[in-house]
Copies of this chain bind each other. A is one copy, B any other.
Amino acid sequence: MPFNPIRLSPALAVAVLLLLPSPARADQGMWTFNNFPSAKVGQAYGFSPDQKWLDHVRLSSIRLARGCSASLVSKDGLVMNNHHCAHSCIEQLSTKDRDYVQTGFYAKEAKDEVKCPDMEANQLVQISDVTERVKAATAGKDGKAFSDALKAVEADIAKECTGGDNKTLRCDVVDLYHGGVYNLYKYRRYQDLRLVFAPEFAIAFFGGDPDNFEFPRYDLDVSFVRIYDNDKPLDSSANYLPFAKDDAKDGDLTFVSGHPGNTDRLDTVAEVEFARDVRIPATLLYLAELRGVLEQFSEQGPEQRRIADTRLFGTQNSYKAYKGQFEALVGPDLVKARRDDEAMLKAKVQADPQMKAEYGAAWDNIKAAVDHTKLIRDRYNMLETGRGFDSELFRDARALVRYAEESAKPDNQRLREYTDANFPAVKQGLLSTAPIYPEFEKTTLRFSLTLVQRLLGPDDATVKTILGSKSPADLAADLVDKTTLKDPAIRKKLLDDGPAAILASKDPMILFAKLVDADARAVRKDFEENVDAPLSKNSGLLAQARFKLYGTSVDPDATFTLRLSYGTVKGYDQKGGHVAPFTTMVGAFDRATGATPFKLPDSWLAAKASIDPAQKFDFCTTNDIIGGNSGSPVINKEAEVVGLIFDGNIQSLGGDFGYDGTVNRAVAVNSGALREALAKIYHADRVVTELGR
């Protein structure tokens, strides 16, 4: 499960309306909290969540800003999430001499809880509809005008919503049913999260890459952090999800509340073929090569391994996820079904003169935008998305430079991430005290500059400007060695001194960020105006056509906003056999070989005798989830935690393009196993006590 729903190519970051002409398949759906099909669930399972239940679950759900889900599980702000979602924090708090990734972490007393350098939690406190206002602002506009108007109205709405309080509030205009509905999501923002508990990486990711996206599984992929508010544990007594007393059973109804990152379930054929033939293969090749670099860097020594771990883990994870998508796309059914659906819709639109006039050109316009993407995507990925300048120091330098330039503009004319509403997240990154490792920076920057040279070609003017007479390795070494931005105090001072000081800085990484910024902004502009805007506009038209023809009772494509899915605990058939829905804790011992990634931590080996061997460990359900759902609570009808989502099976990866209830499975740690491990292996009594009602 991608713990960061990495959108390497934003070309398909276009969520189009999920309105299947045929009835949605059983259990399919990542539902918004203001449009949950309670009646339908009631008919199927005899339980209909009411508004109070929904509000309670919503307010108990947490979004981790860097790409995960989580939940409040005690009255004192305790947040349950995945180990892999807190991995970055655990690694940042580690040093050469105390490696919490390896040893795990437990704050025996409240005072031992340690702040995660750059973790941010958001709690969705309100959803309101702003469709009419957004539509009025963009009506009749195209290309740059459409893009500018949309950005401006979104920034205005967000600003009004926070009332200038960007410290404790975050407001996002969310585009649902692409072009169909615009909702304003208002979040309470928390930036003081402290690590409470994390097990050893060896059990959090037992089975490693080989077992990732597979089931049966034996992982304790959990960590607990606590939200602090004004330096005190958050009072969450009004809304939290207590642990269920009993384990879930085969067939039980389960809900998953979390933040699926992205789906593309109703893209046009042109977009799906582009994903299959260009976007996903290119992304996979990028990830494969990066993986090779990171693997070999890790082989250079244990310290290098520790430094590269999080990145390597994320890269392997994304690789496997995209590979699952690719395999679904080249399979016999998916593109064919999409082609049939599209032909049917097109025929209906063409048959009605008014619909034809309104929507008939949308497919060609989308195709044209996809074709334009092909021309500029390498340049866009390299210069703007950061794939070409892969370095924390560069990201800091660019953030400083752009902050300096953007802050001089009216709020609603800035690049999105520099609006008053969004800048706090960028600022948190800039002020992060997480350590920076120069050798690793040189490695990733060298690699990415090599890609710039390779993909844009040595004759490209930007490449000539960037490299001059230097090799990628020499340039990377030079920039990393000479920049002073490695020191967070210097970054803070620049930010405090303000735009003029930043723009006057002679720091070589800042100068480099300035050097490439005009070209990067130019291709971003091209992308926003000639790809994003027409895709957005024309996908919206198709969404409206579908609305008219097929009705409204469906869920929108995922957008990394809060969704609720329902399903049941259920096994599945694969490779000629049946996979049971539960594993047991003794299974982990049976599977252990003693070699990484099948090596159990010493704490487990020592506690083996005291653990109930039959305790259910991990389980799978039919809930419709995708990357971004990592860390989501699995809850029962009583809104009690019965599990913790940490993965989907390999079949579920095709879920980006379509859900198949016969084999798509969400994978979770069982709440009983969490309690058993916390009590008997880690003696984390303080945490166990908190997990009750």
Within A143-169, the residues touching B (CB, 8 Å) are none
Q: Which residues of B contact A288 (CB under 8 A)?
A: 284-286, 288-289, 292
Of all chain B residues, which has the CB nearest A296? B296
> What does the 1/0 interface line of A238-266 toward B look like (CB < 8 Å)?
00000000000000000000000000000
B210 and A457 within 8 A (CB) = yes
- Asked if A43 is an interface residue, CB under 8 A from chain B, the answer is no
CA distance A443 to B295 in the complex (A): 10
Q: Which residues of B contact A296 (CB under 8 A)?
A: 292-293, 295-297, 443, 447
Q: Which residues of B contact A598 (CB under 8 A)?
A: 458
> What does the 1/0 interface line of A219-252 toward B look like (CB < 8 Å)?
0000000000000000000000000000000000
Interface of A is mostly: helix
Of all chain B residues, which has the CB nearest A323? B285
A454 and B210 within 8 A (CB) = yes
Q: Which residues of B contact A457 (CB under 8 A)?
A: 210
In-complex Cβ contact of A210 among B300, B453, B464 (8 A):
B453
Stretch in contact with the other chain, from A84-92, A520-528, A589-597: A589-597
- Asked if A68 is an interface residue, CB under 8 A from chain B, the answer is no
Given A210-B457, A281-B326: A470 and B595 interface contact (C-beta under 8 Å): yes
> What does the 1/0 interface line of A122-151 toward B look like (CB < 8 Å)?
000000000000000000000000000000
Given A288-B292, A293-B292: A595 and B278 interface contact (C-beta under 8 Å): no
Give the interface size bracket for A toward B: 35 or more
> What does the 1/0 interface line of A428-451 toward B look like (CB < 8 Å)?
000000000000000100110010
Q: Which residues of B contact A594 (CB under 8 A)?
A: 469
CA distance A293 to B291 in the complex (A): 8
Q: Which residues of B contact A278 (CB under 8 A)?
A: 330
A299 and B473 within 8 A (CB) = yes
CA distance A467 to B297 in the complex (A): 22
Name the residue among A277, A278, A468 with the largest chain B CB count within 10 angstroms. A277
Q: Which residues of B contact A295 (CB under 8 A)?
A: 289, 292-293, 296, 447, 450
CA distance A290 to B450 in the complex (A): 16
- Asked if A471 is an interface residue, CB under 8 A from chain B, the answer is yes
Q: How far is the CB of A393 from chain B (nearest CB, A)?
A: 18
- Asked if A352 is an interface residue, CB under 8 A from chain B, the answer is no
- Asked if A211 is an interface residue, CB under 8 A from chain B, the answer is yes
In-complex Cβ contact of A469 among B299, B446, B593 (8 A):
B593
Of all chain B residues, which has the CB nearest A285? B288
Given A285-B284, A470-B595, A595-B474: A458 and B207 interface contact (C-beta under 8 Å): yes
Q: How far is the CB of A136 from chain B (nearest CB, A)?
A: 41
Q: Which residues of B contact A471 (CB under 8 A)?
A: 595-596
Q: Which residues of B contact A487 (CB under 8 A)?
A: none
In-complex Cβ contact of A290 among B292, B294, B330 (8 A):
B292
- Asked if A358 is an interface residue, CB under 8 A from chain B, the answer is no
CA distance A123 to B205 in the complex (A): 57
Q: How far is the CB of A390 from chain B (nearest CB, A)?
A: 13
CA distance A454 to B297 in the complex (A): 19
Q: How far is the CB of A73 from chain B (nearest CB, A)?
A: 32
CA distance A593 to B458 in the complex (A): 10
B277 and A330 within 8 A (CB) = yes
- Asked if A303 is an interface residue, CB under 8 A from chain B, the answer is no
Q: How far is the CB of A269 from chain B (nearest CB, A)?
A: 13
Please give the residue numbers on chain A whose beta carbons come within 8 Å of chain B beta carbons, in ascending order: 207, 209-211, 276-278, 281, 284-286, 288-297, 299-300, 323, 326, 330, 443, 446-447, 450, 453-454, 457-458, 464, 467-471, 473-474, 593-596, 598
25 contacts between A and B (CB under 8 A): A210-B453, A211-B458, A276-B330, A277-B330, A281-B281, A284-B285, A285-B285, A285-B288, A285-B323, A286-B288, A289-B291, A292-B295, A292-B296, A293-B295, A293-B296, A295-B450, A299-B446, A300-B300, A458-B598, A467-B593, A468-B593, A468-B595, A469-B593, A469-B594, A469-B595
Given contacts A290-B292, A291-B292, A464-B593, 17 further A-B contacts (CB under 8 A): A209-B454, A210-B454, A277-B330, A281-B281, A289-B291, A292-B292, A292-B293, A292-B295, A292-B296, A293-B293, A293-B295, A293-B296, A295-B296, A295-B450, A296-B443, A296-B447, A467-B593
